[in-house]
Every structure is written in C-alpha cells, then in structure tokens.
Structure 1
Amino acid sequence: MPDALDHIHDLGAFVSASPSSFHAAREGARRLAAAGFTELGEDRSWPAGPGKYLVVRDGALIAWIVPEGAGPGTGFSILGTHTDSPSFKLKPRPTTGRLGWLQAGVEVYGGPLLNSWLDRELQLAGRLVTFDGEERLVETGPLMRFPQLAIHLDRAVNEGLKLDKQQHMNPVWGLGDPSAADLVGLLAAKAGLAPEEIGGYDIVAADTQEPRTFGAENEFFASGRLDNLSSVHAGLAALIAAAENKTDGSIAVLAAFDHEEVGSGSRSGAAGPFLEDVLNRITAGLGASEAERQQAFAASFCISADAGHAVHPNYAERHDPANHPVLNGGPLLKINANQRYTTDAPGAARWARLCRDAGIPYQEFVSHNSMPCGSTIGPLTATRLGIRTVDVGIPLLSMHSAREMAGVQDPFYLSRVSEVFFIR
C-alpha cells in the first residue's frame, strides 16, 4: 500500500522530531501552520466564526476547523490523543556519579518496561525556562546509557532480572568528578543559554535509534513513542487532509493532551480544563447561549485514540481467548465492562459505520478477565464533558518499551478513518 508506506515514513519523521511532549506539540503546530492553521494565544482574544486554528499549552496541542455553516449549536467531532510516553525525567540536582563515572539523577515517568531501556544510546530532551520566563526546547542527541551488568557478574540473570528503580536506573553520561561537572549546564549550552540563566526545566530521556520498517515484506514498524505518537500523527494528518474538503457539518477538533501516562491530572492533561476551555471559547465565538452550548456538547462525539495490545504469540494465555487482534488487521475498538474504556453500543456502531465508509478493517480488543487493562483519556473526557466517547487505537507489541512494534498499515488506517470522522 503506497499510501501506508508514505504515512509510516512520515510517522517516523514525526517521532524523530518529537523526543518529548513539548517537541511533539511544537512539531504538530509547525505542521498545522504550514497547512494554513493560525496559532492563537490563550491570553489574547480569539477570532469568531469559520477558520482553522490551533493553540499550544505546554506539552499539549488543540487544533480545530470551524466550517462555514457552523452555528451556536453545532457539535464537535473530537479526536483525543496524548503526546507523552513512559520515560525517565531529570531530577533536581541531576549531576551525580561515583567511582569516576558521571551519572544523571532521573525519576521514573509512567510505567516503562525498565529492561527495554538498558544498553541503548539515549538523549535528554524537553524544555528549559529562564528566570525571565523564556522557554527553549532542547535535545542533546546521543548522550547517556543504562549499562547492564555483565552476565559474568550475575550468572542467574537469565532466570529473572530485577531492576531497582533507584539503585539501578542511573544512566552514565561521562567520566570525571561530579563536583566539577554540570549536566544542566550542558543542556543550557545546547540551547544557547548560560547555566545561570536557567530557572527551571522539564527534561525526559528518549531513545535515539531511528524508526524503521522490518519483516519478511517490511510489514512491521519499530519506533519509540508509538504509544501514543502514532495517534497524534494520525490525527494531524487527518485534520490537515480534512481541512481541504470541509465546508459544513461538525467542528473538527484534534486534542493532543500531555501527562496521560501519569494520570492526566495537570493543566495540560485530559483531566484538566484545557479542552473544555477551548470548546467554550469556540461556542462563545459563535454566539452560543448556555443552552446552545449544552446543545452543541450533546451533538458531539469523541474518539479517544490510544494504542492497544496485539495478541502476543509467545504469551497467548495472557489474552482473551476469543479476541486476538493482529498487526495490520486494522485499528482496535477497545471495550471494557468496567469503563476503563468508554466504548458503548452506540459508540461501537458509529465506529463501525466510520470504518465501513472509510473502507478500512477494524478489530475488537477486550482484556483477559484476570488481567485488568489500563485506561485512556476517554473516560476522563466523557466524565468531564458528558460527550459520548469511544476508545480505539492501533495494535502494538512491546507497549511501554523504549522501542515498540506496530504494523505498517494500521497507522494509515487510523488516519484514514479519522479523516472521514473529521469531514462529517
């Protein structure tokens, strides 16, 4: 599928440009601006009426298209995603080390597969903030590594590797005396700043290995941060494509939140007010009363797009016996009786219609009863706004690894159905 290959190569470029949530939001804004979207400031007045707009809040991005025929009660078609991934975040006073090694003090962010981060060339990336409040993005390129203990010093390692988050997850980044080194100063220099200018930072680790296709027919794709940049990229591609053809119908919205991997409880997370703030300002610009705003929300629909699990051939017993999603079989419709996913019958039917109209397959995912699933932004959006929400996402293997595995076709399928969703 030429379209799928083009999409996957562009996804790889997007991941490479997005080692942190802040980079992902800014790269998304750059792509949208190139497609004619206007970036707005939250501290400024916003234009009313039709147009293509975006706003960035920290590591989150919301973009939308108000069509010509939109009125006070027009509903929203929302695709919700997230920009963050499990990783390691730089602590205060991060320059550490001993025995001649320079090490970095890091804190575990979210739920990474710790062993997958061993023996990889990692970079630090994120934002620096000066005492004057200026923000600068920074990325170091290959800088550090979690070196694994040799098997000669742990003969039982293949019977079970146990990593202590404090003792063992301290990456090395140089040689020397920690008292004479300055990791924050290194980051400042990369950003063209002096160390004494830095007032704060949000810096995470990211793998530096380039994304690539592989397999007997190059049908697989390996990359860091597929959970959930695969959905962010699909939403960006879909919204940009929809902007060329959308003249009426709903208001199309892409909401890419931060902090999903740690519970979404932040000003830029799905549990915060960001999406509601934006939707309220859009309806106000269309002259909506409170009753019309509620009418618009009642007429809205949200697709929560977050990666899910493909069946693992070596661990089939960990999956539901009747539902075995595979790579390249289409995006997942994620279902959970306890509302960890928000999919219900009307939402499932609408998703089925969208996939039928887009001409793509989809698969159903439900967890093994003895292995509770994680959750997504879906329940948060549905609870906060009362908008019907369905949970979907491409299937992965090695989820939360430093390098995850997808099928080449599934990200394109997700983008295609998202475009149909936005155009309606």
Structure 2
Amino acid sequence: MTNAPARTDSVAEYIEDFARFIAASPSSYHAAAEVARRLDDAGFSRLKESAEWPTEAGKRYVVRDGAVIAWNQPMASASITPFRILGAHTDSPGFKLKPKPTIGSHGWLQAGVEIYGGPLLNSWLDRELELAGRLVTRDGREYLVRTGPFLRIPQLAIHLDRDANAGLTLDRQRHTTPVFGVGDASQADLIGHLAHIAGIDGWAVAGYDILTADTQEPRRFGLADSLFAAGRMDNLSSVYAGLVALLGAPEDADHINVLAAFDHEELGSNSRSGASGPMLDDVLSRIGAGLGASVSDKLRAYADSWCLSADAGHSVHPNYAEKHDPVNQPVMGSGPLLKINANQRYSTDAAGAALWARACAAADVSYSEFVSNNTVPCGSTIGPLTATRLGIRVLDVGVPLLSMHSARELAHVNDLVGLSRAIGSFFAGA
C-alpha cells in the first residue's frame, strides 16, 4: 500500500486520506509506524539511534517506541542553520490493559483495564472497541497487533437506574471494565488471543503496551459534508497535518524542517519518548554534530529556531457557551486556532502571534484566537515543555474540536486542511 502526499488544495482528497491515516493508527505505536511507512514511500531514510548517522544532506527519520521525528536537511545546511519544528503527539485518551488482563464476573469474560489519560468516560460506553498496541517477546522483538471490534463497556439499562439521565456517575474501577465474551475466565487467555493475531506463541510474550480504540469509521456529515467525526483527532489531526506539510515542504530552505510527533502527552509527557524526555534534543544535537556544530553553534541555531506546538483546541460549544471566554469564542470553520494563556500553559507570545499571522496569510488561511474562561483553567501542551527544555521559541496552535477526549471527536473539514496549509507556510519560511 502506498500513498501520494495528500493535496491541501483539495479538501476532499485531504479528508479522505486523513480518514485512512486515523484508521491505520489505533495506538501511538501504530501511528508512529504509519508515519514511518509514509515517510519511506516519500524517500525518507530510517536511521537507528544506535548507529552512526550520515552527515550529508538528506531526508531522514527515527522512531522511538510510539514517537517519530523526521527532518529534511538541505544541501546548504551549516553548523548554525536553525530549525523549524512542528511538534505534536501520537497518543490519545482511553484505556490500557493491566497485568493479568483476563478477568471475569458472573459468567462474563472481561478485560482488566487502567484509565489512560483523561477520557470523557461516558463517551466510551456502548461502543465497539478494539485492542491495539505492541507485544514484546522474550527475545526483545516487537509486534504490532490490533483486534478489530472486540470489546464493549455496557451501560446499565435505564430500567435499573431510573436516575441515570439526571446525572450519570461512573466508578472508574467498577463501571469501566469492558466485556468481550462469556465463559470461564480461568479458561480464557486475552494475551494468547493477541499473540495468535500477531502470529506468535502466547508463551513468548513477555511484555505489552495494549490500549483501546473506537472502531467506528471516520465520517463526513452535516451541511455540505462540512463536519468530520472520528476518534483520536486529539492529536492525530496535528500529526497528519505536519506530515503532509513536511512531505510538501521545499527542499532548499534556509532552515531544517522537522516533524516531532511525541508519545505520552496525555500523561504529562514524562517518558523517554515524550516531550519532557531527551528525544528532540538528542536528534537536533546529532544533526548539529554532523554539521560540525560546537556548543556555541548549537545555541546560535536554537536562538533562531521556531517550534509550532500543534494540538487540538476547543471550539465554542453552542449548548455550553458560558464555559468559554465571553469575547474570544472561536467557531469551527473559522480556521485553526492560535492558543494563548497568560500563565504560559500555552507558549504563544507576541512574537509567536506575529509568526502565525504571517504563516496563515501566506497560506490564505483564516485563524481564530483561543483563550480560556478565567473560571475554567486550560490544559497544557508540549509547547511549554519544549520551550523550557531547549530554549527554542514556541507558539501553540491547533484544530478546534467539540467533544475533545471523547471516543469520537468533531471537527470542521476546512480547519483540518487549513492547519496543514499554515504549517506548510511555516516550513516554507513565513
């Protein structure tokens, strides 16, 4: 299977391919693998972190667990050449298999799961879910696996909870355990089933990182098919937009374009493949070392570098408008967001706002500012982490969504395409 880079001048082509990207990426490990596959198709070379890296111009990438960093090093790159970085993340909220995951109750077979990140729990009820992620065998080999529709978290019928519509309360331990069949749990083997799908022996599996994903297909709908619903758009919308922009970026830029898609953002990014870890600095330092950069040269390159931290943001919700700022109320369809927070939960400052204005103008894309209501504290992104770790100038942007952290989120097709166009202008040097 191969894919030509999606065309950002065709909304239909972009959205169709984005839907395929989401479908191929039920876990962060699958997302990193799908990015790698597309980079391979586009002529990028995969490098091992334990190997010596080439120093000449070229298009390259590395994968670390569920994270991937790709870059295009132009011919004229020197020791002080700055970087233009698109930062995003591959993981999404959901549930992760616990140790001893095959459990049961009252004749039902169930999967023992731990909540991953901050999912909107009620949205995961009564949906056909799959298990997806990686198995690691005793010899250290990794195998990607996915089940297709396999699990369901059944809600209690209204007849047995007459007050459910007055206020649903879910116990995170007792009420979120999915079912996958009936029978004797002592005779079932969930990991063995996953191993069988992967084509390996169950006894050989020594470790696993397996998460849930919604299996409903992405879909356009609404007036003029302008709305788009899918799982995991927080934050595959940014990963895909950055990938498309990188594949279409000029190869003779006066900077080095980088796509950095981290894992574990939904958990706070504190891992070796998260934005708080050393991965991005490792890669940039090795690129600089290959160009003969001294410590001073590296700092000079960083001083002229920029990072777009792209992560999903909030559109104003028509049924809960009071939750938003009374003046700054971005509506889906008005373009991607520039995310601003006085307390630096987002990294955007005046210089970053000016850069985003230039990039959007060059791409002929409108945009809206997002700022939180003072009574509703905002979350954060990889932006402040990157700025703090590297000292690189960072601004926060993203696609406006409704139902963020739901099993199935909602976006506008023009915003999805507009984000990639604006990133393309950023990579072109706007």
TM normalised by structure 1 equals 0.99
Measure the CA separation in 1 of the matches of 2:269 and 2:345.
Answer: 14
Q: Which residue of 1 aligns with 2:122?
A: 115
Counterpart-to-counterpart distance in 1, 2:356 and 2:215: 36
Match of 2:218 among 211, 224, 249: 211
Aligned length: 422
Query: Which residue number in structure 2 is paired with residue 175 of structure 1?
Result: 182
- Report how far residue 331 of structure 1 moved: 0.4
Deviation at 1:2, TM superposition (A): 6.3
Whole-Å separation in 2 of the counterparts to 1:390 and 1:248: 21
> Contact 1:68–1:248 (CA<8 Å) still a contact in 2?
no
Give the aligned partner of residue 397 of structure 2: 392
Deviation readout 1:231-274 (Å, 9 max, x if unpaired):
000000000111xx321311000000000000000000000000
1:237 is the counterpart of 2:244: yes
After TM superposition, list the pairs within 5 Å mapping 1:96-245 onto structure 2.
96-242=103-249, 245=250
- Counterparts of 1:165 and 1:379 in 2: how far apart (Å)? 30
Q: What is the Cα deviation at residue 313 of structure 1? A: 0.2
Check the 8 A contact 1:85/1:227 in 2, yes or no: yes
Amino acid in the other structure paired with 2:410: M
Residues 246 and 423, structure 1, Cα contact 8 Å, conserved in 2:
no
* Structure 1 match to 2:253: 248
Structure 1: how far apart are the matches of 2:370 and 2:42? Answer: 35
> Percent of counterpart pairs with the same letter?
64
Secondary structure of 2:338 counterpart? strand
Q: d(CA) in 2 for partners of 1:206 and 1:291? A: 45
Residues of 2 paired with 1:61 and 1:396: CA distance?
Answer: 24
Cα deviation per residue 1:111-132 (whole Å; 9 max; x = unaligned)? 0000000000000000000000
For 1:331, which of 323, 333, 336 is the aligned residue? 336
Q: Assess if the C-alpha contact under 8 Å between 1:301 and 1:387 holds in 2.
A: yes
Question: Which position in structure 2 is the counterpart of 1:373?
Answer: 378
Please state if 1:287 is matched with 2:297: no
Aligned to 2:309: 304
- Deviation string, structure 1 residues 43-101 (Cα, Å, up to 9, x no partner): 00000021100000000000000111110000000000000000100000000011110
Among 79, 98, 108, the residue aligned to 1:72? 79
Find the partner of 1:17 among 24, 31, 41: 24
User: In structure 2, which of residues 260, 277, 281 is the aligned counterpart of residue 276 of structure 1?
Assistant: 281
Question: Residue 5 of structure 2 corresponds to which residue in structure 1?
Answer: none
Q: Secondary structure at the match of 2:194?
A: helix
Residues 190-236 of structure 1: CA deviation (Å, up to 9, x unaligned): 10011100000000000000000010211000000000000000000
Q: Distance in 1 between matches of 2:51 and 2:179?
A: 44
Could you say which residue in structure 1 is the equivalent of 2:420? Answer: 415
Q: After TM superposition, give the deviation of residue 423 of structure 1 in Å.
A: 2.2
Conserved in 2, the CA contact under 8 Å of 1:330 and 1:409?
yes
Q: Does 1:58 align with 2:68?
A: no
Cα 1:101–1:111 shift into 2, 3 Å: same
Structure 2 Cα separation of the partners of residues 108 and 100 of structure 1: 24
Q: Contact 1:249 / 1:423 at 8 angstroms: preserved in 2?
A: no
Q: Which runs of 5+ in 1 are unaligned?
A: none
The answer to whether the Cα contact below 8 Å between 1:96 and 1:178 also exists between their aligned partners in 2 is yes
Shift of 1:328: 1.3
| Matched AA of 2:242 | G
Q: Secondary structure at the match of 1:351?
A: helix
Distance 2:306 2:122 in 1: 39
Output the amino acid matched with 1:128.
L
Q: TM-score, normalised by structure 2?
A: 0.97
Tell me which moved more, 246-255 or 272-281.
Answer: 246-255
Helix, strand or coil for the counterpart of 1:323? Answer: coil
Per-residue CA deviation, residues 118-157 of structure 1 (Å, 9 max, x unaligned), is 0000000000000000000000000010000000000000
In the TM superposition, residue 411 of structure 1 has moved relative to its aligned partner by 1.2
Gapped regions of structure 2 (runs ≥ 5): 1-7
